[in-house]
């Protein structure tokens, strides 16, 4: 059973004044320290790796994170801003490490904003494995520890949570990418409820929360943290997201990364004090 949890925001788009030794960049990486009350050392899980090895390693060093001590890495999806620091992390280690990710993280990932550009992972599976990764491809929810799961592919239910502007190769054809590899973490903290940690939430943050409720069997949402992917979203989608979050009524809402300033302001206006933006170096304890 999960007893205590501490999150450290290792890479994020925003910097805070308190942590001015850290570098901000468009990307996300969160270290989870999980105390399972098993009389063992905490489990250390790295959720995503930011956009570059330089920033990932600089911030890990400034935050006194020993990358050797990380037990497991999980990737939210294949975009470079979540996978770009992975090779740097692997190269700093001397022992192999398991990595849980959807098999589509290696698919070519592109966007047309404003021109056709590659935004996929900067490595091949072969390069990762040669650097010490033990790849665990997984499309469905995977249990990582008692009360700690990845969601795997998230069913797309909410009509307002659409995916647009991304492209890939499917069945040998250049085609629209609805990013099936997008996943989140779902943690069940006894006495408090469900904690959802997203990467970009390309599946939609509300779809993600609903699926996390389903797979954990825990209805009570306690916290939602990570990218909500509302950058460029219209007012209708932002308001629908805020209303759904208001209904779910979590104690802690920490949008960051790809949430966008417009959506963040609106979420704060509608959700009040419970909603605070993420910044690099933040530590969140449960």
79 binds Zn ion (CB under 5 A): yes
Determine the interface stretch with Zn ion among 133-141, 198-206, 230-238, 239-247 (rule: CB under 5 A).
198-206
CA angle 252, 258, 261 (to 5 degrees): 80
200 binds Zn ion (CB under 5 A): yes
| Among 33, 81, 161, 282, interactor with Zn ion by CB under 5 A | 81
CA angle 221, 239, 198 (to 5 degrees): 40
Tell me how far, at minimum, the Cβ of 227 lies from Zn ion, in Å. Answer: 5
Determine the interface stretch with Zn ion among 13-21, 35-43, 193-201, 273-281 (rule: CB under 5 A).
193-201
Q: Using CA atoms, how far apart are residues 22 and 132, in angstroms rounded to an integer?
A: 27
Residues 144-183 vs Zn ion: string with x where CB under 5 A? ----------------------------------------
Tell me how far, at minimum, the Cβ of 277 lies from Zn ion, in Å. Answer: 15
DSSP helix, strand, coil percent of the chain (3-state; round to 5): 25, 30, 45
Tell me how far, at minimum, the Cβ of 88 lies from Zn ion, in Å. Answer: 18
Residues 32-71 vs Zn ion: string with x where CB under 5 A? ----------------------------------------
Determine the interface stretch with Zn ion among 44-52, 75-83, 132-140, 260-268 (rule: CB under 5 A).
75-83
Tell me how far, at minimum, the Cβ of 184 lies from Zn ion, in Å. Answer: 12
Strand ranges for the chain from DSSP E: 4-11, 29-35, 43-47, 72-74, 97-101, 109-112, 116-118, 133-137, 142-145, 148-150, 166-170, 173-176, 185-189, 193-197, 221-227, 252-256, 283-285
Tokens of 126: 């072969």
Tell me how far, at minimum, the Cβ of 78 lies from Zn ion, in Å. Answer: 8
9 binds Zn ion (CB under 5 A): no
Tell me how far, at minimum, the Cβ of 200 lies from Zn ion, in Å. Answer: 4
Tell me how far, at minimum, the Cβ of 119 lies from Zn ion, in Å. Answer: 7
CA angle 11, 16, 20 (to 5 degrees): 85
Q: Using CA atoms, how far apart are residues 76 and 23, in angstroms rounded to an integer?
A: 21
Residues 240-279 vs Zn ion: string with x where CB under 5 A? ------------------x---------------------
Tell me how far, at minimum, the Cβ of 79 lies from Zn ion, in Å. Answer: 3
Nearer to Zn ion by Cβ, of 82 and 266: the residue is 82
Residue 235: in which H helix or E strand, if any? helix 235-248
Determine the interface stretch with Zn ion among 64-72, 138-146, 194-202, 263-271 (rule: CB under 5 A).
194-202
Nearest residue to 61 (alpha-carbon basis) of 11, 122, 134, 5: 11
Site of tokens 């009350």: 37
CA distances from 270 to 3, 206, 273 (A): 31, 16, 10
Count residues binding Zn ion (CB under 5 A): 4
Order across the sheet with 283-285: list the strands.
Answer: 133-137, 97-101, 72-74, 43-47, 29-35, 4-11, 283-285
Interacting residue ranges for Zn ion, rule: CB under 5 A: 79, 81, 200, 258
């Amino acid at each position: 059973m999960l007893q205590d949890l501490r999150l450290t925001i290792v890479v994020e788009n925003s910097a805070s004044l308190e942590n001015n030794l850290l570098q901000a960049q468009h990307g996300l990486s969160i270290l989870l320290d999980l105390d399972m009350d098993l009389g063992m050392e905490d489990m250390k899980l790295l959720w995503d790796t930011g956009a570059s090895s330089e920033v990932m390693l600089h911030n890990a060093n400034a935050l006194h994170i020993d990358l050797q001590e990380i037990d497991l890495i999980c990737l939210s999806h294949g975009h470079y801003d979540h996978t770009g620091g992975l090779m740097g992390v692997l190269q700093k280690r001397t022992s192999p490490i398991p990595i849980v990710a959807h098999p589509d993280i290696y698919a070519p990932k592109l966007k047309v904003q404003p021109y056709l550009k590659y935004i996929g992972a900067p490595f091949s599976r072969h390069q990762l494995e040669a650097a010490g990764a033990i790849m665990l491809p997984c499309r469905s929810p995977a249990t990582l520890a008692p009360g700690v799961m990845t969601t795997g592919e998230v069913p797309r239910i909410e009509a307002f949570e659409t995916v647009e502007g991304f492209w890939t190769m499917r069945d040998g054809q250049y085609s629209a990418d609805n990013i099936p590899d997008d996943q989140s973490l779902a943690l069940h903290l006894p006495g408090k409820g469900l904690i959802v940690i997203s990467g970009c939430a390309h599946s939609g943050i509300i779809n993600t929360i609903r699926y996390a409720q389903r797979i954990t069997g825990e209805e009570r949402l306690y916290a939602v943290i990570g990218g909500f992917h509302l950058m460029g979203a219209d007012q209708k989608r932002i308001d629908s997201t805020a209303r759904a979050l208001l209904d779910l009524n979590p104690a802690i809402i920490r949008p960051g990364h790809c949430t966008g300033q417009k959506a963040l302001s609106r979420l704060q206006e509608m959700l009040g004090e419970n909603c605070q933006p993420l910044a690099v170096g933040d530590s969140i304890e449960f």
